Structure formats: structure tokens, C-alpha cells
Structure 1
Amino acid sequence: MTTTLIFTQLTIREAQRRKILWVGLLMGLVFLALFAVGFHYIVAEMDKYASLEEALTITGVLLTAGLYAVDLLVILMAVLISVAAVSGEIESHTVDVLVTKPIHRWQIILGKWLGFAILLTLYILFLAGGLMLIVY
């Protein structure tokens, strides 16, 4: 299990060194900023013309639309950060060194999977939490 956790930690460090992670975080920040500005203006107009029931319905629809956008960003991030995980190590012959050690292949794959799962969970919490804070 320790070997798997080591590979998890290495996967997270490797992802932090790649620019795509930081570009994804920047895209998330830009999305949250644009959503906040748009939501502010929509709520300002809603206060003038909509009843409370209509305002709650519109807020729910906007939150749902925002969560769909978060879903799209998370899927995009998942594909982009994991696409070169194993194949990149095979091409650069990094995996050749790992396979000669007494490490099972499933430990390498599970460690990489856990690393990406942790990164994507944090990304989901960042985007969905930011969206919920904006709406409420």
C-alpha cells in the first residue's frame, strides 16, 4: 500500500509541474468570475420584475446551468491531465526503470488513478463550491 501512495504522491507532483493543471485552474477562475458577474446582473433585474417564486426558479435554473459548465470543465481537465500519464512514461522509458523493480503493475496504475482522482476531486470542490458561494 505504501508503494501505491508513493505513486499517488508522484502523480500529483507530476501534474503540478505540467502547465495544463494551472491553465485548468485559470479557466475555472475565469468561469467563476464571469458567472458571478452575470449572476449579479440577472439578480438585479430579477428583483425588479420577478416574484419570489419566479426568482427561486430562475436561481435554480442558473445554478443547474453553472453545474453543467463545471461538469464540462472537470471532464476537460480529467482528459487533459491524464492523457499522457502512462503512455508518456512508456515513450520516455521512465516505466522501464519502474518495471524492473519489485513493484506490481497494478500498484503503479492504482497510484496514478488515486493521484488523478484526488486532483479532480479538489478541482470539483473548488468549482462547485465557488458556484454555490456565488449563488447563495
Structure 2
Amino acid sequence: MQTSEFAKLWFKLTKDYKVYMEQHLAPSLTESQLTVLEVLQENGRMKPSQLIPYLATTPAAVTMLLDRMEKNGFVTRLRDQEDRRIVWILITERGLEEADRGTQIRNAFLSVALGRISLHNQNLLVFLLGKITAAGQL
């Protein structure tokens, strides 16, 4: 079985990805903030608690992350008009711009990485990763 070789290659790829993203997103954006912005782009307004599954972190960490994002103008918090206990998180225009910038940075990394293999093998890789992750049920 190729598990140890897979583990080494997977570790190298994810390490290279994280280093690249940190260097190119800085100083205004982090990878976690990019995740929040992309989720908000896709879903519209959300409660902070709804972000937890996307970030795999604690409610306190999400609050701190959102505090920084609000301070930087990426998101805004809005109290629900009918139930003041509910706080909605909304992406701002600046947040949309940063999400686009972050997506371009990620796509640049992935284009280089995937460009090392043929289009057929790229499609095969995506197919196989889909099988491994069983449609997100790992």
C-alpha cells in the first residue's frame, strides 16, 4: 500500500499551499478570512455559529476572527430586526474585493501545481479525490 508515500506527498503539497497562501494573502487577509468571505459570498448573510463547520474551530475563535474582519472592513454585523438576539454577518464591498483577490491567488497556485500534469490527469485527480472524500463525508 502507498499510504506513507501518499502522506509525504500530501503533506508537502498542503505545506507548500499554506506557505504560498500566507505569503500572497498578507498583510490584509488570512486563509481563514478568505474561507469566511467565500462562504458569505455563496450563502449571503449568516449567523456566526453557521460558520463553525467551515472553519473547524470554536465559537470563541469565530468571534475573534469576525472581530478582525469587521475592523478591516470585510464584513459587517447586523442585528435581526425581529429578534435582537440574532446577529447576521454580511460581506462588504471591500470583503467582496478581497474574496476575489484571494480566489485569484489560490487559482494561481493551483494552476501551477495542476499544470504539471495533463488535463486528462487533472480530471482523473479530481475524480479520485472525490472518491476518497466520499462527497465530503470523511
TM-score range, shorter chain: 0.3 to 0.5
Indicate the structure whose relative CO is greater, using CA pairs within 8 Å and at least 6 residues apart. Answer: 1
**Richer in helix (by share):** 1
TM-score of the pair, normalised by structure 1: 0.35
**Richer in strand (by share):** 2
